[in-house]
Amino acid sequence: MHNILLLILSLFFLPLANAEDQDIAALFAKEGADGTVVISSLDGSRTFIHNDARASQRLAVASTFKIFNTLIALEEGAISGKDEVLAWDGTKYDFPDWNHDQTLASAFKASCVWCYQELARRVGKEKYPAYIHKAAYGELHEPFEGTTFWLDGSLAISAKEQIDFLRKIIQRTLPFRAASYDTLREIMLAESTPAYTMRAKTGWAIRVTPQVGWYVGYVEVEKEVWLFATNLAVRSEKDLPLRQQLTRASLQVKGIIE
């Protein structure tokens, strides 16, 4: 009887880790956005979630896979470092930033699809399942195409799993060389101010319905690190800026950045 009473009391006082964050929910409601955001401290002791059900739903990973694919490409020797040149073959793309030679650094920043498809060819399709399984990086449906699996929905991941993966990246618990981690950290830089540094990657899955927009990364603030993963249903290209805007607003409303 005593043990049962203790169990009931512990459940009563257990923090509601997955409770809806009303502050963040109001931000999404104001924009009429259907999406989720997960913000978590590096040690996992504090987590804020809007739309827990969607945060647990696996969706097409899109170009956020460039974070992981960068590490894989470096580890496999598909590219030597951030300054190695990937030669453009002259194909004209709708995104002008893709239409020239690229380095790994510029390809990451421009989210250059053809660049990372070339790296995937160099790595080899057969090597990806083991990497994905070892990192517990969402789910890869087989069979899959070796240069489109992160774009067509074959590789799907949840916002919560993105957070878990980012934690492994920051803590360097996956079996990659220090030089690979260092290069990724450098090219992920999205914003630097006196108050904080943000490292992140966007994603836009246009080959699935509804389309999915992502913003995934982390913020270094003084002695703290906060991880974030945002995704939303993209109704049109006009929604794309909401990926960063809602992430930033969520970090602000929780007092992480100003």
Residue 7 forms part of a structural domain: no
By three-state DSSP, how is residue 101 classified? Answer: coil
CATH number of the domain within which 121 lies: 3.40.710.10
- 204 contacts 234 by C-beta, under 8 angstroms: yes
- Digit-coded pLDDT (tens) for 234-258: 999 999 999 999 999 999 999 999 9
pLDDT of 219 over the 70 cut? yes
pLDDT of 197 over the 60 cut? yes
Residue 3 forms part of a structural domain: no
Residue 4 forms part of a structural domain: no
Residue 5 forms part of a structural domain: no
**Taking the model in full, what pTM does it have?**
0.92
Active-site residue list: 63
Could you tell me the end-to-end alpha-carbon distance of the chain, in angstroms, rounded to an integer?
A: 50
Residue 78 forms part of a structural domain: yes
Question: What token pair was written down for 100?
Answer: 């020239």
pLDDT of 189 over the 70 cut? yes
Q: Give the C-alpha separation, 178 to 66, whole Å.
A: 18
Tally the domains of the chain.
1
Q: Which residue has the higher pLDDT, 223 or 42?
A: 42
Q: How confident is the model at residue 15 (pLDDT cuts 50, 70, 90)?
A: very low
For the residues 195-200, what does the mean pLDDT come to? 98
pLDDT of 13 over the 60 cut? no
For residue 46, give its domain range. 19-253
Mean model confidence pLDDT for the chain: 94
Residue 14 forms part of a structural domain: no
Residue 258 forms part of a structural domain: no
What pLDDT does residue 214 have?
98
Q: How confident is the model at residue 18 (pLDDT cuts 50, 70, 90)?
A: low
CA 37 to chain centre: 11
What pLDDT does residue 148 have?
98
Residue 9 forms part of a structural domain: no
